[in-house]
Amino acid sequence: MFFDNQEEIIICIDKQINELHVKQKIKFEHYHSFFELAYVFSGSFDTTVGGKKYLLPAGSILIFNTKASHYIEAKEEGSILINILVRKSTFANSMLHMIQKNDLFFSFFLHSLYDIKNEPVTFQFSAEKGSMVEEIVYHIVREYYDKSAYSQSMMSYLFCCLLTELTRQYQEKASQPILKDQKDSLDISRIIAYISENCNSITLVQVAEHFHYSTTYISKSIHRASGKTFTELLNSFKMEKATYYLKNSDFSIEKISLLLGYSERSTFDKTFKKYHGKTPIQYRKSSK
């Protein structure tokens, strides 16, 4: 109902013109079969995600996967929300390979595309005035409304650029060591993102040293947040990348094993079979 036949990415702009319009507009929690990025251009909005309510000031960016139940409503007159909607098929066919080295979003979109049991996930960022993030969003909007030749292709490339710029922003924050007096406010997502970004070589001791916590505290925090041990979480990130490489590259099994940090091919084969019930060779053959 949103996309025309030729459209892979579209823009929907939600403008709250007056107080009456805000009050009369009916809002309800919902989710989509496509990916959604919401950018607060002006004013402020309330969002409810999974039953929890949050305030979104100007510059806020939310990215929802297809399982995240949500709604967004304006808090004041003049509020403008820019929604960038992307078909799942577009991501699967043309975008996923462009972000294969982007550990933060690669796992996010891979799960949404291929994992039937995947959980609701939402990313939140902020874009400062005059930032590269803001500029890329504007370029995407202009491409959509100008309807120039190859505008849909250009929007796909720009959307991947936007994800990359958001990842840079996220990594800059995640790479800053946590001070001891900030322990109580630690966001476990920063730890998990750090593990994902460095899954080919990271150890529990290195994670603990980076965030200035004991290995015991890190282990318990990871298990409490994800239901997995550090090793299980690490291997899950590696296996996601492994399946992508096997499906979408001509890399040899030995090269994939080394890229993922396995010193022995036999260890990689054993771990992969434990997760997927097939050896890497069998998996590659069955996926073609």
Q: Are residues 110 and 215 in the same domain?
A: no
Q: How far apart are CA 135 and CA 271, in angstroms?
A: 43
Cβ burial 88-112 (10 Å sphere, 16+ → b, else e): bebbeeebbebbeebbbbbbbbbbb
Q: Are residues 111 and 207 in the same domain?
A: no
Q: Give the per-residue pLDDT at 99.
A: 79
Q: Give the per-residue pLDDT at 22.
A: 40
Q: Are residues 131 and 199 in the same domain?
A: no
Q: Are residues 127 and 246 in the same domain?
A: no
Q: Are residues 22 and 107 in the same domain?
A: yes
- Give the number of domains in the chain: 2
Q: Give the per-residue pLDDT at 228.
A: 82
Q: Give the per-residue pLDDT at 19.
A: 46
Of residues 182, 180, 205, 184, the one with CA closest to residue 195: 205
The DSSP code sequence of 137-163 is: HHHHHHHHHHT-TTHHHHHHHHHHHHH
Digit-by-digit pLDDT tens for the chain (288 residues) are 577 777 889 999 887 644 434 444 445 667 677 888 999 998 888 888 777 777 888 888 988 877 777 888 887 778 899 999 988 888 777 777 777 777 667 777 776 766 655 566 677 888 888 889 999 999 999 999 999 999 999 999 999 999 888 888 777 765 555 444 444 445 676 788 788 778 888 899 988 888 888 888 888 888 877 778 899 888 888 888 888 889 888 889 999 999 899 989 999 999 999 888 999 999 998 876
Q: Give the per-residue pLDDT at 25.
A: 46
Q: Are residues 124 and 190 in the same domain?
A: no
What residues make up the domain containing 168?
A: 9-172
Q: Are residues 113 and 231 in the same domain?
A: no
Q: How far apart are CA 241 and CA 103, in angstroms?
A: 9
Q: What is the CA radius of gyration of the chain?
A: 21
Q: Give the per-residue pLDDT at 170.
A: 73
The 3-state DSSP class for residue 49 equals strand
Q: Are residues 98 and 73 in the same domain?
A: yes
Q: Give the per-residue pLDDT at 47.
A: 83
Q: Are residues 125 and 223 in the same domain?
A: no
Q: Give the per-residue pLDDT at 249.
A: 86
